[in-house]
Amino acid sequence: MVFRELAVRFNSQLFLSQRLRIYRLRRVAGHMTAQKDLALDTASAQEKQLTDMAARALDSRHDAGLDGLVGGLDSVIISTETDNLVPATYELLRYTGLDCTEAFFEAESQSYVLSLPGSASLIIQSRGNAPNPFAIVNKARLTDHFPNTRLECFVFTTPDVEEYVEIQKQRGVEFLTPALQVSEHFSFIQTAPSPYTGNSVGLIEWKDTIRAYVPEGSRRVSPDISKPAYRHLNNIGKLDHAATRVRAQDRTAAILEFLSLTNYHYDFGVHVKSQNSITSVARRDKEDFAMVFTSGITPYTSDGASGPTEKFIQNYGTRVHHMAFKTESIEQTVATLTMDGMEFLLDLVGSDSEGLRQIFSEPSKHTLIVNEYIHRYGGFDGFFSKNNVERLTEATGKQ
């Protein structure tokens, strides 16, 4: 087994590892340096340990027969309080490129599907008074009014959901339901909420080419919310990545768990000592949706001492912090979004020469989720530049 580790130290420390026998080496912005200090050694040792464990997780996945059983991201499921469902859906129509393609309800629940060709879909739902298996992971200091609000599930395609479930049950994976949810067009199942992230991983096997999410027993209705006809929304494209905040002590377990449930690999981690923050990236391939985990370097002690990431978890629990949308003409688009009432946590950061420009919105009052808008230049496939990552992390301290 061959690994390569590159260490880069500027304001932050960037570590990149690669399983050369499987994945090609990815480009890293920056220069190699031989300069070392104690912090770098500690972080470097942590990365070495994580990449070794991640490689073993991939070997275990391979040995279990899971290779090729999980595809790319199909959709994400976002739950809201009942009163927030329509405002949350309208807000996503107003501030992203996705359009409402489906609506359905049954006795307690109601759902809207937002789609865009080439992007994972967003399924926005409310459960009404039905039991919520995510209630326990939603509880935190500032979530009393949002007991049902969360991005709950990342749903990946599979060519054979029954085989996936059989193998994963033997490996001890717990699912939310004993049986598959079967409809005319798909079979679906999802895991129980993770003890490390609070997120669930869903698997969907499509039976044909029709992408209809209406479950068996639900009534499909004509969507009653329409998308505003704003031209600048054409600049906002696919769901590029999502970032989940996890406790410092759970970082490794959260990443390994995700690798064991999907066909993703661990790509790299960025340590930002000044913000007590590590941003870790898992990917399937360069063009695919990326899963980002953000954690503290050291566990929470107090709001003042622990930095914005660990403080966020105290306030809101472990959960998805932001969804990032690939955006063209980002300056003009952000200016127009601002005129349409969108508020941002900071100004646009980054530049052409750094490979990307990006910005965080204020968190939604209906979903608690931040929208990131990200524009990449010249095929840059990273998620931040060395100058941006500190400012972005610092800005989230306002939440």
Residues that bind Fe ion (CB under 5 A): 243, 324, 372
Query: Which residues are within 8 A (CB) of 263 and not within 5 positions of it... i.e. 6 or more apart?
Result: 61, 66, 67, 68, 69, 70, 71, 284
User: Is residue 271 a contact partner of residue 13, using CB atoms and an 8 Å limit?
Assistant: yes
Among residues 78 and 243, whose Cβ is nearest to Fe ion? 243
Min dist. Cβ of residue 395 to Fe ion (A)? 12
Among residues 127 and 326, whose Cβ is nearest to Fe ion? 326
Min dist. Cβ of residue 316 to Fe ion (A)? 17
Min dist. Cβ of residue 77 to Fe ion (A)? 20
Among residues 90 and 383, whose Cβ is nearest to Fe ion? 383
Query: Which residues are within 8 A (CB) of 10 and not within 5 positions of it... i.e. 6 or more apart?
Result: 30, 386
Min dist. Cβ of residue 372 to Fe ion (A)? 5
User: Is residue 397 a contact partner of residue 309, using CB atoms and an 8 Å limit?
Assistant: no
Among residues 85 and 320, whose Cβ is nearest to Fe ion? 320
Among residues 168 and 280, whose Cβ is nearest to Fe ion? 280
Among residues 263 and 371, whose Cβ is nearest to Fe ion? 371
Query: Which residues are within 8 A (CB) of 20 and not within 5 positions of it... i.e. 6 or more apart?
Result: 2, 3, 4
Among residues 77 and 270, whose Cβ is nearest to Fe ion? 270
Q: What is the DSSP string of 352-398?
A: TTTTEEEEEBPPPTTT-PEEEEEEESTT---S--TTHHHHHHHHGGG
Query: Which residues are within 8 A (CB) of 126 and not within 5 positions of it... i.e. 6 or more apart?
Result: 79, 80, 81, 82, 84, 85, 109, 110, 111, 148
Min dist. Cβ of residue 361 to Fe ion (A)? 12
Helix axes of 388-395 and 303-316: crossing angle, nearest 10 degrees: 70
Among residues 250 and 372, whose Cβ is nearest to Fe ion? 372
Query: Which residues are within 8 A (CB) of 205 and not within 5 positions of it... i.e. 6 or more apart?
Result: 157, 158, 159, 160, 161, 186, 187, 188
Cα distance between residue 12 and residue 370, in whole Å: 23
Cα distance between residue 339 and residue 359, in whole Å: 16
Min dist. Cβ of residue 200 to Fe ion (A)? 21
Token pair of 79, please?
A: 């739950």
How many degrees, rounded to 5, is the angle at CA 247 between CA 284 and CA 394?
Answer: 85
Among residues 69 and 324, whose Cβ is nearest to Fe ion? 324
Min dist. Cβ of residue 144 to Fe ion (A)? 27
Min dist. Cβ of residue 323 to Fe ion (A)? 9
Residues facing residue 72 across a β-bridge: none
Min dist. Cβ of residue 370 to Fe ion (A)? 9
In order of 78, 258, 315, 325, the CA distances from 70 in angstroms are: 21, 12, 33, 23
Nearest to 384 by CA among 251, 275, 235: 275
